[in-house]
């Protein structure tokens, strides 16, 4: 007796159960989709919040303004020293002219400031060194490192915007979303297990004559059981395919609409779900199939006591 | 072949199905178990296929002690015993052929073997021409013959038939009994449970009479005794 033939017979039986109670199967799939969606919405919200935090962290920098009279040698020394520190991710040196251009660009709409600048005949700005740290908590160290006698005499002022409050707010939102989301996911999972259990019980009820005969003619327990477990796994896989499609479509729809929140950058929802499609599908598939499979297995148990 | 020693069966909480039943059925015998309704006949049949377990005593079939048979082994026991039970019907949506084949499929028999065996057993019960029919297109007696065909697919050493003539007219009843005798003549041990006096008296074989869960008589060429 080949394994394949047995497998095929069990598969056919499972397919028959599925179609016999089509409406029930469809509602079960619907509930499973809701459960999977709740998980993926939670994942998506987390992705957005992580990206939002990263976005904010990327904005943090220290601008070091040098007095206009600073010699290029001192500027270069400052840049060289700072960029050599392991905590520094980037050290960008803007010349006086570049600093002026950047300043003008920042205040492009402001006639008063631009007018005042034009009245001055020379560039009032000196060179600017823009520093970014690898981690947000490296900034205090960077500020200390700037007190280097080799160039600190040339620093006219410095500007450190840490966005600390905003970041703290985003992180606290993340935490409550995770807590609330986890509760929601748990509830959906509980519902799906109960509903799958019920669906399989109904399937068993409609098959009770076959089951009685199978047992009396000497079918093994697993032969009776497996079609129902397969049926549960069928339902799970169909729900998985639908959910995958919905998630991909939904994230493609949401991305451009959230771009404004990210200063015009792509929120990266779609990229995340497409990039992690395989691993997400496999983990969610295995988790759901084993939950559903176990639930179906338990549902048949009662009928196999004798 | 079949040995029951001091078998008692109490259904929870305290219904006495059988009380201290002893019997020994030899290979190739044709034994009728008779008694009024509620005497415990079906209980014996259920114990033999391990659908119930005895409260006390020992049962063995073909030298295999099944008193405390494990659940894993039950399917193997049942493939060695053919059963014809009252509440063990044909599947209405399957043809005669499919109903018989079903018993082999679920026992994971290869398809090529199934194609060999099904026509053979249908021929034994005289229905080889009617394999494509559905159960409701057959008479009651023919349906019962399909059930018997299905019980024969594993070439059982023992056939247990519980009231196989239950709802049948006299002619169909006669056909079923003839069929059981034919199966017995191939060497299969047959245990026939019935409360039909005509059937038993016509057979002239061993008769075990039960009353209220006890064996009240066991005769080699018996007649149906009316309990006093
Ligand atoms: N599953 C059961 N639960 C409780 N009592 C039962 C059960 N099956 C049978 N009995 C009781 O056991 C006794 C014997 O029943 P049974 O073996 O079916 O008799 P018969 O087949 O001779 O009519 C009866 O009193 C019946 O009510
Ligand atoms: Mg009975």
Q: Are residues A94 and A146 in the same domain?
A: yes
Nearest chain A Cα distance for residue B222, angstroms: 30
Task: Please list every residue in chain B whose beta carbon sits closer than 8 Å to the beta carbon of residue A209.
Answer: 89, 91
Q: Is 90 exceeded by the pLDDT of residue A235?
A: no
B94-99 long-range contacts, CB within 8 A, separation 24+: B94/B134, B94/B135, B95/B131, B95/B132, B95/B133, B95/B134, B96/B122, B96/B127, B96/B130, B96/B131, B96/B132, B96/B133, B96/B134, B96/B135, B96/B138, B96/B146, B97/B122, B97/B131, B97/B132, B99/B135, B99/B146, B99/B150
More confidently predicted of B223 and A183? A183
What is the distance between the terminal CA atoms of chain A, rounded to a whole angstrom? 26
Atom of ligand 1 nearest to the CA of B40: 17
Q: Are residues A300 and A200 in the same domain?
A: yes
Q: Which of A114, A131, A159 is the last residue of a domain?
A: A159
Nearest chain A Cα distance for residue B90, angstroms: 9
A218 contacts B107? CB cut-off 8 A = yes
More confidently predicted of A49 and B183? B183
- Give pLDDT tens digits for A165-179: 777 777 788 788 888
- Give pLDDT tens digits for B203-216: 889 999 999 999 99
Domain membership of residue A164 (yes or no) is no
Domain membership of residue A180 (yes or no) is yes
Ligand 1 lined by B194 (C-beta under 6 Å): no
Q: Which of A108, A129, A159 is the last residue of a domain?
A: A159
pLDDT score, position B228 = 43
Task: Choose which residue among B8, B13, B40 to substitute to test ligand 1 binding: the one with the highest number of ligand atoms within 8 A of its C-beta.
Answer: B40
pLDDT score, position A305 = 61
Domain membership of residue A206 (yes or no) is yes
Q: Which of B23, B21, B22, B25 is nearest to B1 (CA)?
A: B25
Q: Which of A111, A138, A159 is the last residue of a domain?
A: A159
Tokens read off for A302: 């009662």
For domain B2-219, give the CATH superfamily.
P-loop containing nucleotide triphosphate hydrolases (3.40.50.300)
Q: Is 50 exceeded by the pLDDT of residue A288?
A: yes
Measured CA to CA, the distance from residue A97 to residue A94 in angstroms comes to 8
The answer, for B91 touching chain A at a CB cutoff of 8 Å, is: yes
Measured CA to CA, the distance from residue A226 to residue A239 in angstroms comes to 20
Ligand 1 lined by B41 (C-beta under 6 Å): yes
**Which of the 8 DSSP states describes residue B224?**
P
Atom of ligand 1 nearest to the CA of B193: 21
∠ CA B172-B173-B175, nearest 5°, is 65
How many H-runs (helices) and E-runs (strands) does chain A carry?
11, 4
Largest CA distance in chain A: 104
C-beta atoms surrounding A46 within 10 Å: 15
Contact yes or no for A173/A165 (Cβ under 8 A): no
Q: Are residues A123 and A200 in the same domain?
A: no
Q: Which of A5, A214, A306 sits opposite B106 (nearest CB)?
A: A214
Residue A280 belongs to what domain range? 2-56+169-304
Tell if the pTM clears 0.90, that is, is over it.
no
The residue whose C-alpha atom lies closest to atom 20 belonging to ligand 1 is B38
pLDDT score, position B61 = 94
Q: Are residues A177 and A41 in the same domain?
A: yes
- Ramachandran angles phi, psi of B20, nearest 5°: 45, 60
A306 contacts B51? CB cut-off 8 A = yes
- How many domains does chain A divide into? 2
Domain membership of residue A25 (yes or no) is yes
pLDDT score, position B124 = 94
Q: Which of A215, A218, A221 sits opposite B76 (nearest CB)?
A: A218
The answer, for A102 touching chain B at a CB cutoff of 8 Å, is: no
Contact yes or no for A281/A288 (Cβ under 8 A): no
Domain membership of residue A128 (yes or no) is yes
Q: Are residues A251 and A132 in the same domain?
A: no
Domain ranges across chain B? 2-219
Partner B, chain A 181-220, Cβ-Cβ below 8 Å: 209-210, 212-220
Candidates A8, A213, A303, A305: best to mutate against B (most CBs of B within 10 A) is A213
pLDDT score, position A152 = 84
Q: Are residues A248 and A183 in the same domain?
A: yes
Which residues have C-beta under 5 Å from ligand 2, the single-atom ion?
B 42
């Amino acid at each position: 007796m080949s394994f394949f033939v047995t497998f095929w017979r069990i598969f056919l039986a499972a397919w028959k159960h599925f179609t016999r109670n089509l409406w029930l199967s469809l509602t079960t799939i619907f509930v499973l989709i809701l459960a999977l969606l709740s998980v993926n919405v939670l994942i998506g919200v987390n992705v957005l919040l992580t990206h939002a935090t990263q976005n904010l962290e990327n904005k943090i920098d220290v601008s070091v303004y040098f007095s206009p009279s600073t010699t290029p040698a001192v500027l270069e020394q400052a840049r060289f020293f700072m960029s050599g520190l392991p905590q520094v991710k980037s050290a960008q040196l803007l010349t006086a002219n570049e600093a002026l251009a950047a300043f003008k660009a920042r205040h492009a709409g402001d006639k008063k400031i631009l007018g005042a600048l034009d009245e001055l005949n020379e560039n009032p700005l000196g060179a600017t060194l823009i520093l970014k740290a690898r981690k947000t908590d490296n900034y205090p160290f960077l500020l200390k490192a700037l007190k280097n006698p080799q160039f600190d005499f040339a620093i006219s002022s410095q500007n450190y915007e840490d966005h600390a409050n905003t970041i703290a707010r985003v992180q606290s939102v993340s935490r409550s979303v995770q807590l609330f989301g986890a509760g929601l996911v748990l509830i959906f999972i509980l519902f799906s297990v109960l509903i799958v259990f019920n669906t399989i019980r109904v399937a068993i009820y409609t098959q009770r004559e076959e089951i009685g005969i199978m047992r009396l003619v000497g079918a093994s327990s697993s032969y009776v059981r497996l079609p129902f477990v397969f049926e549960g796994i069928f339902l799970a896989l169909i729900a998985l395919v639908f959910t995958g499609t919905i998630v991909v479509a939904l994230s493609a729809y949401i991305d451009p609409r959230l771009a404004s929140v990210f200063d015009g950058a792509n929120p990266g929802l779609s990229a995340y779900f497409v990039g992690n499609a395989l691993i997400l599908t496999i983990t969610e598939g295995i988790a759901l199939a084993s939950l559903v499979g176990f639930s179906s297995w338990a549902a048949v148990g009662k009928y196999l006591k004798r | 072949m079949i040995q029951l020693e001091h078998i008692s069966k109490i259904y929870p909480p305290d219904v006495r199905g059988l009380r201290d039943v002893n019997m020994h059925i030899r290979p190739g015998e044709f034994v009728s178990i008779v008694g009024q309704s509620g005497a415990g006949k079906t209980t014996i049949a259920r114990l033999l296929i391990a659908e119930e377990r005895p409260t006390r005593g020992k049962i063995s079939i073909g030298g295999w002690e099944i008193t405390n048979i494990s659940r894993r082994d039950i399917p193997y026991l049942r493939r060695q015993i053919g059963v014809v039970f009252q509440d063990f019907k044909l599947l209405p949506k399957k043809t005669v052929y499919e109903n018989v084949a079903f018993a082999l499929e679920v026992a994971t028999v290869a398809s090529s073997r199934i194609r060999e065996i099904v026509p053979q057993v249908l021929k034994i019960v005289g229905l080889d021409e009617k394999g494509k029919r559905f159960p409701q297109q057959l008479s009651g007696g023919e349906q019962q013959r399909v059930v018997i065909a299905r019980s024969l697919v594993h070439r059982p050493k023992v056939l247990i038939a519980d009231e196989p003539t239950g709802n049948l007219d006299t002619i169909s009843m006669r056909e079923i009994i003839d069929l059981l005798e034919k199966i017995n003549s191939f060497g299969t041990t047959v245990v026939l449970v019935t409360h039909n006096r005509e059937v038993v008296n016509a057979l002239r074989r061993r008769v075990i009479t039960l009353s209220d869960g006890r064996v009240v008589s066991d005769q080699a060429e018996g007649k149906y005794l009316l309990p006093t």
